[in-house]
Chain A
């Protein structure tokens, strides 16, 4: 069965440091896509970054990057130089070959001054 698991419920970091959020997934598909989304306090959910399963290079967008470890079915999100406004809930998601989407339960990130 397809499944996405985020084990970290909440993380607290000091501003300007680096944080890593974990995500593991289960799938039998040979091709799939992994996404990270951010939900702000207002409730808005926005797309951050995507990793294609067939690509070995880790995706990077701005101060977001991914740590894709395919043998471990793991896709960690790394945020460098965190800012107060990075405080939010971060969701990991997998989209399979049937276009279905599976979300993790989210990780609450708190960035403190």
Chain B
């Protein structure tokens, strides 16, 4: 079975650009999460979808970050406009619904904003 697929693996952007990161969850999974990972802040939740509905939107990220789930097998994370402080690894994870279910993580997208 295919795991969580994230594209691109690496992204370099100029300050002020708009970038879109993509995620395909494991087939059949109901829950989808976007995280940002940095060495200083660790794993920070950006968005949480359940059956395509946005359940949680990381408060600190609302102004320039927007995640969408157009269908059950595809999600995007848009950052507009990018800033150098957005440089990080962006991780997508999915799971079946239910708190007992583990998350499956994608390989991540490493974003560098110049």
Listed by A's residue number, 12 A-B pairs whose Cβ atoms lie within 8 Å are A32-B99, A37-B103, A44-B107, A45-B105, A93-B103, A96-B99, A97-B99, A98-B99, A99-B98, A100-B48, A101-B33, A106-B42
Decide if B100 touches A33 in the complex (CB within 8 Å).
yes
Known: A101-B33, A103-B43, A105-B42. A47 touches B103 (CB 8 A): yes
**How many residues of A are in contact with the other chain, CB < 8 A?**
25
- Interface residues of chain A, those whose CB is within 8 Å of chain B, are 31-33, 35, 37, 43-47, 50, 52, 91, 93, 95-101, 103-106
Decide if A43 touches B108 in the complex (CB within 8 Å).
yes
The residues of B that contact A91 with a CB separation of less than 8 Å are 43
Minimum-distance CB pairs A-B, first 9:
A45-B105, A47-B102, A95-B99, A105-B42, A103-B43, A99-B99, A33-B100, A33-B99, A43-B108
The residues of A that contact B107 with a CB separation of less than 8 Å are 43-44
Shortest distance between the CB of B15 and any CB in chain A (Å): 24
A-facing mask of B81-111, CB < 8 A → 1, else 0?
0000000010101000111111111011000
A-facing mask of B61-95, CB < 8 A → 1, else 0?
00000000000000000000000000001010100
The residues of B that contact A97 with a CB separation of less than 8 Å are 99
Task: Provide the main secondary structure of the chain B interface.
Answer: strand
Shortest distance between the CB of B43 and any CB in chain A (Å): 5
Known: A95-B99, A97-B99, A99-B98. A44 touches B56 (CB 8 A): no
B52, CB-defined interface residue at 8 Å? no
Decide if A99 touches B31 in the complex (CB within 8 Å).
yes
B29, CB-defined interface residue at 8 Å? no
In whole angstroms, how far apart are the Cα atoms of A96 and B100 in the complex? 9
Shortest distance between the CB of A110 and any CB in chain B (Å): 16
In whole angstroms, how far apart are the Cα atoms of A71 and B99 in the complex? 21
The residues of A that contact B98 with a CB separation of less than 8 Å are 99
In whole angstroms, how far apart are the Cα atoms of A104 and B56 in the complex? 19
Shortest distance between the CB of B95 and any CB in chain A (Å): 8
